[in-house]
Chain A
Amino acid sequence: MKEILSGNEAIARGAYEAGVKVASAYPGTPSTEILENIIRYKEINASWAPNEKVSLEVAMGASFTGARALVAMKHVGVNVAADPLFTLSYTGVKGGLVLVTADDPEMHSSQNEQDNRNYAKFAKMPMLEPGDSRECKEFTRIAFELSEQYDSPVLLRTTTRISHSKSIVELAEPVTGLPVPALVKNAAKQVMLPSNARVRHPLVEERIKNLAAAANTMAINRMELRDPAVGIITSGVCYNYVREVFPEFSTLKLGMVYPLPIDLIRQFAATVDRLFVVEELDPFFEEQIKAQGIAVSGKEFLPLCGELTPERIRTAFATAGIVPGNQPALDENQLQSVPLPGRPPNMCPGCPHRGVFYTLNRLKAYVTGDIGCYTLGFLPPLSAMETCVCMGASIGNASGVVKVVSEEERKKVVAVIGDSTFCHSGVTGLMDMVYNNAPATVIILDNRITAMTGRQDNPASGHTLMDDPTNRLDLPQLCKALGVRHVRVINPFDLDETRSVLEEEMNRPEPSVIITDKPCILVKRAGVFQRGPLYAVNAENCTGCRACLRLGCPAIQWRPNEGAKGISYIDPALCTGCDVCRQLCKFNAIGRAK
């Protein structure tokens, strides 16, 4: 049967067909939909972990019993999982273990665009890179086979254009006859004391050498000889871009991007007149090929930053003198003659974060931010964020700032972090803040969901990935247990309360935590988010002061041609009745719609 699947859906399907028993992940764009789709297959025990490190450790445990296990994360998630990953390389596996790293060239939804192919070389493990959804499914199966054959974890690398593109996939039945998982004692292989680890390291080196030799004959490393004038070594989505723009050129498509098939590359180089590498981000292939003394061009023409596209590749080959320059398809004088306003993303109408950032802005706070929807609090008109680095960094950043600034400035320092991000890696930061008495204020925006990646459950939401009810982490109790003496739970839709509690805690010369207690408007579970009454602007009372516009609520619109100097208007299709704008209006112009 044929289906149109995204790369992520195809990896989920591939895991099912490969007989995976355990799947664990922390959501992160562009990897999130892998686990969201894996739950269609009831044979797989799938769960959200609090962070990527835990998810990998869960998968390792399953693998040690002989079960096949899959973990999925975005590229920066691998940084979090790197600690177990590097030693997993030494222990090896029993059941196949595949880690999907979903990279984000162009940073469509990320804070950096690190090239995770480097992890394969660094941690000495093989990495496969599919070029479309059909390969996503096929390579997932191959990855599990390689993992068991070579006693190694296998990295499966996608990029945003693979994860989120759809193409046609032929479905198959799952494999049968895999061993039944059970407790297996093999301490020398799995207890990485120095004496055991020293035995394992040479085996790791031998393994990667064996894989490099086998790479030369693997079917997924495919030489396609066409015009011998130009040969292009490429992988992943770039292969498809190359075939799109230069259907006549010869290609060597690498399905396994580490270790490289050096003999095959040498053979290909000898067949073509001019050799190129087309790869996104780092010159990962190029440097290794050059180190073998093979003449090749790549990054002298292709960009190091951002994703490649058919036109960027075409431009690079024009610069290299291989093809003539581009002809613009349209008259550029005509196009873009109208300057268009941009359309940045925005917090939703009724978002419980909006009033908090409005208040932080009014209090001129110095906000150390974190990763989530609330990072949008950086954008105008809220404009209340000074740092945002990685998951959990807000709290450590705030501790560092208050260590060195004046007592007056200390009172301005507020760390802002979401519930899911706090669970992921904020807890240890707060532990440090209390332990070392850094007098900053932490706001945990508890909206009961991991919102930015599309509404995933987490330890503080009270439900699992499979939608089963579970313990709901008690955030106030946890903060108290860490030693925070002042933990305040507030309604972020009440601006007076929000402001007075914030002022009080910011002035307090010790660490304190404020937890906001209103759900994300996108939570679909019954009884969590409740829409309030509709609000409307009374045109007679509206003086056009624009105070409500400082919220940046998508439901509030400025109508310049109405009233004496313009008035505000509330779109009834968007208003959720959060009541925040009403509290800002000094002229009683905003009230319940009649």
Chain B
Amino acid sequence: MSEQVTNILLVGVGGQGILLASEILSETFMLAGYDVKKSEIHGMSQRGGSVVSHVRFGQEVFSPIVPEGEGDILFGFELMETYRYLPLLKKGGAVVVNDLQIAPSSVLMGKESYPEGLAEKIRLQFPDFLLVDGQGIAREAGNPRAANTALLGAVSRRLEIPESCWMQAFEKMVPAKALDVNKKAFYLGRELKN
């Protein structure tokens, strides 16, 4: 078991299911025998605002938030939010991001435009970069709502956690009728390579 604390940041837009994904991650790490802390802000930020959830695990975890520049994995649910939180990552950190753009209100209103070429710009700074077609994989698994699980699968490849812990966490936290689809989406995501 590693002595080091591993730092994961989940970022995206309020309403995308980031909190549930971070709960599944935390549960999995606890089942694998680690100390776990996670932190995020609820309230005002949920109304379509920018959301960041910090998940940390290791032998002993003190701070519930990831110190700036020490993130190991940036797990993005949306491209622009992923770019926004890059300063939290360490040099050489990994980025796993859903290939999805959600326009903020200023873009919806035509006052600003959604920045272009973000994926390429992230890849230039962080070569360990994986752009995931979350929706596409979820459709292949049988339910477009399983996109987050596909992304979790892609993140799971970067963590040395026994597969059984992931499955146990899913069984505890995903409703029984959605379990098969989510497991399938997870494995499809887990097979993805950079």
List residues of A whose CB falls within 8 A of some B CB. Answer: 2, 4, 29-30, 108-109, 132, 160-161, 164-168, 237, 240-241, 243-245, 309-311, 314, 328-330, 334-348, 373, 376, 379, 381, 452-454, 546, 549, 552, 554, 556-558, 560, 566
Contact A309 B47 (CB under 8 A): no
Q: In the complex, A344→B81 CA distance in Å?
A: 12
- Whose C-beta in chain A lies nearest to the C-beta of B78? A343
How many chain B residues touch A (CB < 8 A): the figure is: 56
List A contacts of B136 (CB < 8 A).
none
Contact with A along B79-92 (1 / 0, CB 8 A): 01101101101110
Contact B47 A164 (CB under 8 A): no
Interface presence of B194 (CB below 8 A): no
- If A330-B69, A454-B42 touch, whether A348 touches B109 (CB-CB below 8 Å) is no
Interface presence of B143 (CB below 8 A): no
- Listed by A's residue number, 8 A-B pairs whose Cβ atoms lie within 8 Å are A245-B67, A309-B67, A329-B91, A330-B87, A342-B106, A343-B80, A381-B109, A554-B105
A455 to chain B, nearest CB (A): 11
Contact with A along B42-76 (1 / 0, CB 8 A): 11111111100000000001111101111000000
Interface presence of B6 (CB below 8 A): no
Contact of B48 among A314, A330, A339, A343 (CB under 8 A): A343
Contact B30 A241 (CB under 8 A): no
Number of A-B contacts defined by CB within 8 Å: 171
Contact B39 A165 (CB under 8 A): yes
Contact B84 A340 (CB under 8 A): yes
Q: In the complex, A167→B29 CA distance in Å?
A: 11
Contact B104 A342 (CB under 8 A): yes
Interface presence of B185 (CB below 8 A): no
> Known pairs A109-B43, A165-B39. 12 more at Cβ < 8 A?
A166-B23, A166-B39, A168-B30, A237-B63, A237-B64, A240-B62, A311-B67, A330-B69, A341-B114, A346-B105, A373-B47, A549-B109
Interface presence of B142 (CB below 8 A): no
Interface presence of B167 (CB below 8 A): no
- If A340-B115, A558-B110 touch, whether A4 touches B27 (CB-CB below 8 Å) is yes
Q: In the complex, A310→B107 CA distance in Å?
A: 34
Contact A108 B41 (CB under 8 A): yes
Contact A329 B68 (CB under 8 A): yes
Contact A344 B105 (CB under 8 A): yes
A188 to chain B, nearest CB (A): 44
* Across the A-B interface, the 6 shortest Cβ-Cβ residue pairs: A329-B69, A109-B43, A558-B110, A345-B47, A29-B43, A165-B64
Q: In the complex, A292→B62 CA distance in Å?
A: 31
Q: In the complex, A348→B105 CA distance in Å?
A: 11
B36 to chain A, nearest CB (A): 6
Q: In the complex, A336→B88 CA distance in Å?
A: 12
Chain B interface main SS type: mixed
Contact A557 B108 (CB under 8 A): yes
Contact of A309 among B27, B36, B65, B108 (CB under 8 A): B65
Contact B64 A167 (CB under 8 A): yes
- If A165-B37, A343-B81, A376-B47 touch, whether A558 touches B108 (CB-CB below 8 Å) is yes
Q: In the complex, A343→B69 CA distance in Å?
A: 22
B111 to chain A, nearest CB (A): 8
A337 to chain B, nearest CB (A): 7
Contact A344 B87 (CB under 8 A): no
B143 to chain A, nearest CB (A): 15
Contact A452 B44 (CB under 8 A): yes
Contact of A30 among B43, B63, B70 (CB under 8 A): B43
Contact of B39 among A164, A341, A373 (CB under 8 A): A164
Q: In the complex, A244→B83 CA distance in Å?
A: 26
- Whose C-beta in chain B lies nearest to the C-beta of A546? B110
List B contacts of A379 (CB < 8 A).
105
Q: In the complex, A310→B67 CA distance in Å?
A: 6
Contact A108 B115 (CB under 8 A): no
A189 to chain B, nearest CB (A): 40
- If A342-B104, A554-B105 touch, whether A334 touches B42 (CB-CB below 8 Å) is no
Contact B26 A4 (CB under 8 A): yes
B119 to chain A, nearest CB (A): 12
Q: In the complex, A553→B69 CA distance in Å?
A: 36
Interface presence of B99 (CB below 8 A): no
Contact A346 B47 (CB under 8 A): yes
List B contacts of A330 (CB < 8 A).
69, 86-87, 89-91, 125
Contact A29 B42 (CB under 8 A): yes
List A contacts of B63 (CB < 8 A).
237, 240-241, 243-244, 310
Contact A345 B46 (CB under 8 A): yes
Contact of B69 among A167, A240, A328, A554 (CB under 8 A): A328
A160 to chain B, nearest CB (A): 7
A212 to chain B, nearest CB (A): 29
Q: Which of B43, B89, B114 has the most CB of A within 10 A?
A: B43
Interface presence of B118 (CB below 8 A): yes
List B contacts of A336 (CB < 8 A).
86-87
Q: In the complex, A373→B48 CA distance in Å?
A: 12
Contact B67 A343 (CB under 8 A): no
List A contacts of B81 (CB < 8 A).
343
Contact B41 A109 (CB under 8 A): yes
B147 to chain A, nearest CB (A): 13
- Whose C-beta in chain B lies nearest to the C-beta of A107? B44
Interface presence of B38 (CB below 8 A): yes
Q: Which of B63, B84, B115 has the most CB of A within 10 A?
A: B63
A522 to chain B, nearest CB (A): 10
List A contacts of B112 (CB < 8 A).
341
List B contacts of A309 (CB < 8 A).
65, 67-68
List B contacts of A345 (CB < 8 A).
14, 44-49
Contact of B104 among A164, A335, A343 (CB under 8 A): A343
Q: In the complex, A168→B37 CA distance in Å?
A: 8
